[in-house]
């Protein structure tokens, strides 16, 4: 594997990976890191605070999302339950805890940057997503730029442009400023604006920062690697949104300029650094921020759909 490129991205255009929805191919399945045996080992050894199980409904137009309890279950049991139900296992921050996965992710980014010399990234992170047949991810956006590496199974992803119909400027600003969650109201009529990809093992798709998207699995177990990163321009974009939010809170004035260069950006960055939402505080807040969802079920690999309801919902927290 070491002598063969893992990324197959023919003839990229300058800044293509930042500015355009792009599909290409990968060979990370050859690494052997995503077999059932390897996944069980990772699930058994991963810190519990960075391992979440979620359940969703069957209708992309109706938001139904809850968290579950997986206390006391091993990796093999979790895989059994995911194969049965409508579950989503998110193995978060894997590069922090698994050196072999960190080496893989760094190699992927190194190859991308070699193919696209203007693509320079930082703050790499990665999650392994293990999801059930027919599972879905609701319409949302992410703060960093994502690359979705499909390893096993089949899924369809819709990627939407950023405009006032898909996500309003007010909602985008408040999301970037961490004032609201990343889930968005979904209008099925905007599907006509989306680029749609059917992914199988070896497929990759990435999209510009903050593009709304949603996912539906086909009828098989899905294993995906989701990597995240920032470029210098993307960090500036977030700082501008955070500065605009700080100005609005402090003065009641609304600034809609999202320019990331010139004197205006420098002044806004100064406001940001001087405010209580300084860059250091925001970075710490984003690293440790928790989303609260109710825990409504317990994973049970013996149950018909892999879960059993709790007697009553309990508070639960899942980190970004």
Q: What is the pLDDT of residue 211?
A: 97
Cα–Cα distance, 138 to 6 (Å, whole number):
30
SS3 call for 69: strand
What tokens does 60 get?
A: 């992309």
Q: How far apart are CA 28 and CA 201, in angstroms?
A: 9
What does the pLDDT look like over 210-231, one tens digit per residue? 999 999 999 999 999 999 999 9
Mean pLDDT of 227-244: 87
Q: Indicate whether 142 and 91 sit together in one domain.
A: yes
Q: Are the C-beta atoms of residues 156 and 215 closer than 8 Å to each other?
A: yes
Q: Is residue 273 part of a domain?
A: yes
Residue 241 pLDDT exceeds 90: no
**pLDDT at residue 253 is higher than 70:** no
Same domain, 185 and 263: no
141-169: pLDDT as tens digits = 999 999 999 999 999 999 999 999 999 98
Residue 198's CATH number: 2.60.120.650
Query: How would residue 259 be classed by pLDDT, with cut points 50, 70 and 90?
Result: low
Residue 261: inside a domain, yes or no? Answer: yes
Question: In this model, does residue 260 exceed pLDDT 90?
Answer: no
Residues 161 and 266 in one domain: no
List, in order, residues 6 or more apart from 189 with CB less than 8 Å away.
Answer: none
Res 170 pLDDT > 50: yes
Q: Are 141 and 251 in a shared domain?
A: no
Q: List, in sequence order, every beta strand (DSSP E) within the chain.
A: 7-8, 22-26, 51-56, 65-69, 87-91, 122-131, 136-140, 145-152, 155-159, 195-199, 203-206, 213-217, 222-230, 290-299, 307-319
Q: Sorting pLDDT into bands at 50, 70 and 90, what band is 240?
A: confident
Residue 239 is part of which domain span? 235-281
Give the CA-trace dihedral at 112, 206, 265, 240, to 10 degrees. -140
Looking at the structure, tell me whether residues 269 and 131 fall in a common domain. no
Q: How many domains does the chain fold into?
A: 2
Say if residue 123 is in the same domain as residue 81: yes
Say if 18 falls within a structural domain: yes
Tokens of 159: 């990627």
Q: Is 71 among the domain residues?
A: yes
Strand partners, 52: 90
Write down the pTM of the prediction: 0.87
Position 288 in a domain: no
Are residues 246 and 132 located together in one domain of the fold? no
Residues 177 and 220 in one domain: yes
Check residue 236 and give its pLDDT: 86
Domain membership flag for residue 286: no
Tell me whether residue 116 is in a domain: yes
Q: Are residues 241 and 225 in the same domain?
A: no
Please state the three-class secondary structure of 232-291 as a single string. HHHHHHHHHHHHHHHHHHHHCCCCCCCCCCHHHHHHHHHHHHHCCCCHHHHHHHHHHCEE
Asked whether residue 225 falls in the same domain as residue 166, the answer is yes
In a domain? residue 320: no
């Amino acid at each position: 594997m070491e002598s063969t490129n893992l990324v197959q991205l023919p003839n990229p255009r300058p800044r293509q990976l930042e500015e355009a929805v792009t599909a290409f191919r990968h060979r990370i399945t050859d690494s052997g890191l995503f077999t059932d045996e390897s996944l069980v080992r990772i699930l058994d050894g991963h810190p519990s605070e960075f391992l979440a199980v979620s359940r969703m409904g069957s209708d992309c137009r109706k938001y139904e999302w809850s968290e579950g309890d997986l206390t006391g279950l091993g990796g093999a049991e979790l895989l059994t339950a995911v194969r049965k139900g409508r579950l989503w296992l998110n193995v978060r921050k894997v590069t922090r805890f698994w050196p072999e996965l960190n080496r893989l992710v760094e190699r992927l980014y190194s190859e991308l940057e070699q193919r696209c010399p203007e693509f320079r990234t930082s703050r790499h992170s990665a999650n392994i997503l293990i999801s059930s047949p027919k599972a879905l991810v609701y319409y949302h956006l992410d703060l960093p730029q994502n690359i979705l590496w499909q390893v096993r199974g089949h899924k369809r992803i819709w990627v939407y442009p950023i405009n006032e119909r898909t996500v309003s400027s007010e909602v985008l600003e408040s999301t970037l400023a961490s004032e609201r969650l990343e889930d968005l109201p979904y209008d099925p009529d905007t599907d006509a604006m989306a680029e749609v990809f059917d992914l199988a093992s070896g497929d990759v798709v990435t999209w510009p920062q903050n593009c709304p998207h949603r996912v539906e699995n086909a009828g098989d177990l899905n294993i995906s690697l989701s990597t995240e990163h920032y470029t210098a321009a993307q960090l500036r974009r977030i700082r501008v949104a955070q500065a605009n939010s700080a100005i609005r809170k402090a003065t009641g004035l609304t600034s809609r300029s999202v320019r990331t260069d010139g004197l205006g950006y420098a002044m806004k960055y100064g406001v940001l650094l001087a405010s209580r939402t300084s860059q250091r505080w925001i970075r710490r807040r984003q690293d440790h921020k928790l989303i609260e969802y109710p825990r409504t079920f317990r994973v049970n690999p013996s149950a018909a759909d892999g879960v059993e309801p709790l007697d009553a919902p309990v508070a639960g927290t899942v980190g970004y």
